[in-house]
Amino acid sequence: MAPLMASVAHAQQQPPTEAARESSEAMVVVCWLIAFLGAFAALVQAKRFYDTMIRADQGTDRMREIAGYVQKGANAYLQQQYRVVVAFFLVVALLLAWAAFGLKVQSEFVPFAFLSGGLFSGLAGWFGMKTATAASNRTAAAAEKSLNQGLQVAFRSGAVMGLTVVGLALMDITLWFAFLYWVWPAAGMEPLSLIEITVTMLSFGMGASAQALFARVGGGIFTKAADVGADLVGKVEQGIPEDDPRNPATIADNVGDNVGDVAGMGADLYESYAGSILASAALGAAAFANPNLTPDGWTAAQAQTAALLLPLVIAGLGIFLSIFGIYLVKTDEDASQKNLLAALDRGISRATYAVIIAAIAAAYFLMPSVEGTAILGIPGVALSVVFGAAAGIVIGKWTEYSTSDEYSPTRKLADQAVTGPATIIIGGVADGMLSVWVPVLTVCIATVFAFGCATGFDFTDVELFSLGLYGVGIAAVGMLSTLGITLATDAYGPIADNAGGNAEMSEMPPIVRQRTDALDSLGNTTAATGKGFAIGSAALTALALLAAYVEGVRVGFERWADDFAAETIAIDSEGFRNGWYKLSDQLLVNIEKTGDGESFDAQPFLIMPSQLPSSDLVDKWRAAPVETRLPDEPSENEVGAGDLITRRGDRVVWAPNDSQLTSLARMTLPDFNVYFDATLMNPKVLIGLFAGAMATFVFCAMTMKAVGRAAQGMVEEVRRQFREMPGIMDGSATPDYESPVAISTKAAQSEMIGPSLLGLLLPVVIGLVLGVAGVLGLLMGALTCGFCVAVFMANAGGSWDNAKKYIEAGAHGGKGTAAHKAAVVGDTVGDPFKDTSGPSLNILIKLMSMVSVVVAGLVVRYSLVSLGWF
């Protein structure tokens, strides 16, 4: 069966017929509808699950009262956080507007796309948090009836978060594409190229990443400050059970589970999901901009459009199949944690296998098959999806093995608690470090095979390089295509945790707490698995964003040339002369008026470093003023266009070393690496690498210290209440629950600014000082170092947490023993590891990449390197 468009298009050298254009437009509409309807179905299904949860039994009056405390605290926190975030977003949007409308270094749509990305990301977190806080008492009430009913309420409530995230993300992307592709030209405005559309939409990803970082860091600081205060003072010092109503920090702890693990994780995976789709779309449009890749029967525009739409189609199909997987999750009443894991795995694995088949079919019917890249008659890109999805499964399984108390690593870690806090901390750090090797190896293998499948395993042809990176981006889409269900397994964890707290505080029968503890322990594993997905996808997406950054650089050069030409013609419309203009030592543009004399054609050429050998001619070229026309009849000390440039047929030859100049439009990604000397021998790249690695550790230090400072205030407050209100312990006095919530809220708001600014400002500073080469080094350093540290911290924290729960379930004497107290200390250390610093790193990686793409035009034109100062 032939691909969808090949039968109706003429050969590459011929213009498409009217029938071909109509068929192409029909293809765009069908693909867009698949994505849009998938997003719409996700939101509709999320509403159905929410309504079902709301109708469930709310339990006793005491259960509703406790849930009300948590809802009030979570609402107050998010409202305060959003006030800070809104102010920040407005400031950044104004700066982006100045860059777009004042400096004209980026699209005028960028500020608005940035705001919409942040808005939709915030909405996803808000809806998830509202659902989770309403579900805790209902889950506890359901668990009183049976384990399966408790699982159903908690998991379906978590599914609201998962489906809301993917629905809002894909809805925002499809609406922006429809506006830029159809509405803007229909309004009589100049149409945007597909590359311009995708690079503009990437700024939506920057907004989502910025919001995610605030949500994850702020929520992580809140929840871990409360958790540390509740555990250290309540469990260790006072010897009272977890979630005991006598503990003043217990409500703040439950609030933190929702604002950190639900709202924060939702915003985190929202930007991962959106970023993978946007990066792949940008790379697809860029890859087929090269006419040499356009197969017979296609036009370049058709091939670009198909490659752009494929990730949207895969995401849309993934939503439908995620909904199918959610309905498969159920278990028996006497299920063990292994049985519960099997129930969740059944839904995820079957949805994943179905997505793989659907993605292969979509690629077969949609994608152009570049000569030499087909595998078994299928476009190689289709199989890139397989390796992305497989990588997600492997990372998830390994994370489960590394953190679940059903397996030996966590049980052996619990054994080390017998000899005290020091040994369990040492063991947890070592286990976390050791757990890094499988995810790193998995991502490396997935990258090689995703790249190889897309290029027909030709790793040497520079023409295919961008197509290979498109395959890597598609692999990231494949990994996250079932996010609707994988995020449901993540968000369900804190719901089960809160249900256990509700059961404890409302003095429900012990069997209820046993069932919620089983769900909660599973939730810790699934949460770690969700973090593994987020971190793994960050690595693949960041690799794709590196290439997207280079495409942003290309657009920056084009915008520079076009703006200069427009300003030059406007200033001197009467005396303007066609000719060659020098914009910088390595950028030359040929400007010619076309048509009625009002429009123009500006064709930029980049001059490679090897094309500037030391000579008198080159010295004169370097001495020539920038942004000026090369004279036709130069004086003795000048250099003229004829001295430097000659035409030999279609070739433009650079006289100083008699080599061909390559137009900007035909520059490949390896060409850009040569142009910017993006090698390890370039000190700018090395400095960038060190800065990226440094940013990883500085960011972790800032977030860990923030948790420490906030926890210190929490511990002092809880101790004060126990000291000044002795009636708390015998139940004659009620603790002040609001003060700990206020302490965590205030600490989170003040402490989240610094780490967030690091991710936003560092790419701009490095770019303006070191230029494009420095930014490439920065992004690679942050990716490699950040990925390893993120996996280490997330897995170490998850293992410490489940080791504690394993002991609480009866191992080594159970609760109240010295081993239990040592495990609580280990869990306390692990809390900011797994819920603040570790998972925030994957956002930092992608945020820095997104910021770099957005400011690429600014760096190209105004960096110290571009200005010739450095």
Nearest to 840 by CA among 799, 776, 782: 782
Cβ burial 524-553 (10 Å sphere, 16+ → b, else e): bbbbbbbbbbbbbbbbbbbbbbbbbbbbbb
Decide: residue 51, CB within 10 A, 0-12 exposed, 13-18 middle, 19+ buried.
Answer: exposed
User: What are the structure tokens assigned to 543, written together?
Assistant: 């690799």
**Please, what is the angle between helix 753-808 and helix 818-832, to 10°?**
160
Number of helical (H) and strand (E) elements in the chain, helices listed first? 27, 10
Length of the chain: 870
Residue 581 corresponds to which tokens in the numbers above? Answer: 């203009």
pLDDT of residue 425: 95
Classify residue 665 by its DSSP letter: G
Q: What is the pLDDT at residue 789?
A: 95
What is the full DSSP assignment across 602-647? EEEEEPPGGG--SSHHHHHHHHSPSSEEPPSS--TT---HHHHEEE
> Is the pLDDT reported for residue 480 higher than 70?
yes
List the single range of 1-15, 117-131, 193-207 with lowest mean pLDDT. 1-15
Res. 846: pLDDT tops 90:
no
In the block, residue with structure tokens 């040497």: 460
Q: What's the rounded mean pLDDT across residues 6-13?
A: 30
730-738 average pLDDT score: 83
Q: What does the pLDDT read at residue 9? A: 31
Instruction: Specify the DSSP element, H or E, that contains 662.
Output: strand 662-663
DSSP, res 99? I
Q: Does residue 561 have a pLDDT over 80?
A: yes
- Average pLDDT over the chain reads 87
Confidence of residue 772 (pLDDT cuts 50, 70, 90): very high
Mean pLDDT of the region 180-192: 92
Instruction: Give the CA radius of gyration of the chain.
Output: 29
Q: Give the mean pLDDT of 637-642.
A: 87
Look at 251-260, 344-353, 388-397 and tell me which has the smallest mean pLDDT: 251-260
CB 142, CB 302: distance < 8 Å = no
Two structure tokens written together for 3: 């691909």
More confident of the two residues 412 and 466? 412
The angle that helices 110-145 and 510-571 make with each other, rounded to 10 degrees, is 170
Q: With 70 as the cut, is the pLDDT of residue 409 above it?
A: yes
The whole-angstrom separation of Cα 530 and Cα 216 is 14
Report residue 24's pLDDT band, with 50, 70 and 90 as the boundaries.
confident
Q: Closest Cα partner for 164 from 44, 311, 327?
A: 44
CA atoms within 13 A on the CB side of 390: 14
Look at residues 43, 453, 504, 61 and name the one whose alpha carbon lies nearest to residue 243: 504
- Extract long-range pairs of 629-632: CB within 8 Å, 24+ residues apart: 629/577, 629/579, 629/580, 629/581, 630/579, 630/580, 630/581, 630/582, 632/579
What was the pLDDT predicted at 676? 94
SS3 content of the chain, % helix, strand, coil (to 5): 75, 5, 20
Lowest mean pLDDT among 14-28, 152-166, 260-274, 318-332: 14-28
Tell me which DSSP letter residue 180 carries. I
pLDDT digits (tens, 9 = 90+) for 485-514: 888 877 787 888 888 888 888 888 888 888
Percent of the chain with pLDDT over 70: 94
What is the pLDDT, as a whole number, of residue 12?
A: 30
Longest dimension (CA), the chain: 99
Q: What is the mean pLDDT of residues 39-68?
A: 93
Degrees, nearest 5: CA angle 124-266-804: 150
Cα–Cα distance measured from residue 509 to residue 518, given in angstroms and rounded to the nearest whole number:
15
Mean pLDDT of 594-601: 71
pLDDT at 674: 92
Residues 442-467: pLDDT tens digits? Answer: 999 999 999 999 999 999 888 888 89
pLDDT at 475 over 60: yes
Q: How confident is the model at residue 23 (pLDDT cuts 50, 70, 90)?
A: low
Cβ contact 216:857 at 8 Å: no
Six token digits for residue 222: 């809140």
Residue 823 above 90 pLDDT?
A: yes
**What are the structure tokens assigned to 864, written together?**
């110290």
> What whole-number percentage of the chain has pLDDT above 90?
39
**763 or 633: which leads in pLDDT:** 763
> Side-chain half-sphere of 798: how many Cα atoms within 13 Å?
38
When pLDDT is averaged across residues 831-841 and rounded to a whole number, the result is: 86
Beta bridge partners of 209: none
Q: Is the pLDDT of residue 551 over 50?
A: yes
pLDDT of residue 7: 30
At 574, list the tokens: 């009467």
**pLDDT, average across residues 647-670:** 88
Residue 447 CA to residue 626 CA, distance in Å, equals: 42
Give the pLDDT of residue 262: 81
Residue 516, pLDDT > 90, answer: no
> Could you tell me if 644 and 624 are in contact, meaning their C-beta atoms sit under 8 angstroms apart?
no
Amino acid at 280: S
- Can you tell me whether residue 599 is helix, strand or coil? strand
Q: What is the pLDDT of residues 107-120, one digit of tens each?
A: 899 999 999 999 99
Three-state secondary structure string covering 214-264: HHHHHHHHHHHHHHHHHHHHHHHHCCCCCCCCCCCCHHHHHHHHHHHHHHH
Write down the residue that tokens 């040929």 correspond to: 590
Mean pLDDT computed over 387-403:
87
CA 145 to chain centre: 39
> Residue 649: pLDDT above 60?
yes
628: β partners: 582
Token reading at 188: 């009589």
pLDDT band at 16 (very low <50, low <70, confident <90, very high): very low
DSSP string, 129-141: HHHHHHHHHHHHH
Q: Sorting pLDDT into bands at 50, 70 and 90, what band is 336?
A: low
529 or 425: which leads in pLDDT:
425
Cβ(244)–Cβ(728) below 8 Å: no
Is the per-residue pLDDT at 10 higher than 80?
no
User: What is the predicted pLDDT for the residue at 500?
Assistant: 86
Angstrom distance (rounded) from CA 632 to CA 629: 9
Which residue did the predictor score with more confidence, 497 or 644? 644
**pLDDT surpasses 70 at 570:** yes
Query: Beta strand pairing status for 374-375 and 378-379?
Result: antiparallel
Q: Which pLDDT belongs to residue 13? A: 32
760 C-beta neighbours (distance < 10 Å), count: 20
Burial of residue 632 (number of CB atoms within 10 Å: 0-12, 13-18, 19+): exposed
What is this structure's pTM? 0.88
Token pair 């975030």 is found at 85
Q: Is the pLDDT of residue 2 over 50?
A: no
Q: Tens digit of pLDDT for each residue in 281-298?
A: 999 998 888 778 888 778
Integer Cα distance of 513 and 497 in angstroms: 10
pLDDT band at 753 (very low <50, low <70, confident <90, very high): confident
**Spatial distance between the Cα atoms of 492 and 153, rounded to a whole number of angstroms:** 9
SS3 104: coil
| Higher-scoring residue by pLDDT: 44, 344 | 44
- Residue type at position 277: I
Average pLDDT over residues 820-843: 88
Identify the band that residue 14 occupies on the pLDDT scale cut at 50, 70 and 90: very low
CA distances from 698 to 207, 611, 702 (A): 23, 41, 6
What are the CA-CA distances from residue 208 to residues 46, 94, 167, 222, 356 (Å)? Answer: 21, 17, 14, 21, 27
Least trusted range by pLDDT, from 488-502, 622-636, 827-841: 488-502
Once rounded to an integer, what is the mean pLDDT over residues 343-353?
84
Q: Which of 371-375, 555-559, 578-582 has the lowest mean pLDDT?
A: 371-375
**Residue 370 predicted with pLDDT over 60:** yes
CB 858 within 8 Å of CB 105: yes
CA atoms within 13 A on the CB side of 453: 26
Dump pLDDT digits (tens) for 212-242. Answer: 888 888 888 888 788 777 777 777 778 777 6
Asked whether residue 726 carries a pLDDT value surpassing 70, the answer given is: yes
